[in-house]
Structure 1
Amino acid sequence: MTRNVLPETPLGRPANPEARAHRKAQILAGAQRCFIRKGFHAATTAEISSEAGVSVANMYQYFPTKDELIRVMIQADLAEDLDLVRLVNEADTLAEGLEKTIRLTTADHENLSNLGLRLEILAEAARNPRIAAEVRKADAQITAAVAEMIARRQLAGEVSNDIDPGPTADLIMSLFDGMIGRIALAASNPEALARAATQLILAGLGVTPKAAD
């Protein structure tokens, strides 16, 4: 007689993919709050699990180390940044795309409050080779996407052909990294800084904003 053998499921880990995704997001959200409040090194696994509403053992099933938590956060930031580049690409003009994207990001108060987390990630990358490698990989992807966006606008005749897309994309990303730091430290007004950045980028790319009708 043949017995039906059910697949084994690790104890404490939801078998349903949707339940797993929800639990993972729950832990990530708790970790983000802890990291923003205390920093990566000061935040303990016990504090992270308590903030997330799970046991330490359950958290380890999803994220064996704090480095893994940071790695997933870097990937989430990358996905959000690539979505912003996509919005710029979909706009009729580069000026319209940049203005829309920056307006969305500066109007999102939750996004602004999380900018400090990006500073924490950069600080951790300065002393942790594994995190540094993840940051460099994500940075290369977003910079390449911005360079491709510039090249597409050049083909459309919107951006000067004298511009070299690669280094220019690198410079634009440096500008945004600096903006993140100033906004996170409340050193500048986000909306005013965003408008100035838009004007600077468009001028540097040789784009002349359309005159109002």
Structure 2
Amino acid sequence: TGEQRRLALDDGTQLLLNTGSALNLRFGAAERRLVLVAGEIMVTTAHALGGAADPRPLLVETAQGSIRALGTRFTVRQQAAHTEVAVLESAVEIRCRDGAGSTRLLQAGAQTRFSHSAIDAPSAVDAQTQAWTRGQLMADAQRLDDFLAELGRYRPGVLRADPQVAGLRLSGVFPLGDTDRILSTLPSVLPVQVRTRSRYWVTVLPAEPGP
């Protein structure tokens, strides 16, 4: 929890693993397969880095299907019921696990998500999608409970919002290196207070009435 790790693979591929992520590597003579068990990764192929292209296909496999790299840099996030993909350079080909013929070519600057049988229409990559690769958490009029759920991926224990303030919205760019500092700034931008029983149990509550 809270850890990010960079890996350099033998074929020249560079990986960045986000917090709470797990990955299996299955490289063989016919293909290179990265099995994303949980969490989120950014993949930069050797070709995208200016190196020689490996003739074996490079695929990222998730619970919902697979993403084939086409000399590219992209991110993949495994959610409970779908996979999110954002292409930063070149393109990828997405294939659903159960949808016969359900494939889509996703170009640079586009993001989408897919289930076992369908792929959503693409949209433009937003800054929030890749903020984690720069060690940042970005909010754009985001609900407080959703913001805390995302922040909770980067610190141990329970982090929750009282229902009375869960729907408050906030915007900003927050450095992930100090999650306690992020929490301490919330009362300055929202009418809330942060109650800490311990580092492992934090609740955001309505601010106490003034005198």
TM-score relative to the length of structure 2: 0.31
- Over alpha carbons, which structure has the higher Rg? 1
Structure with the largest fraction of strand: 2
TM-score relative to the length of structure 1: 0.31
Structure with higher RCO (Cα < 8 A, 6+ apart): 1
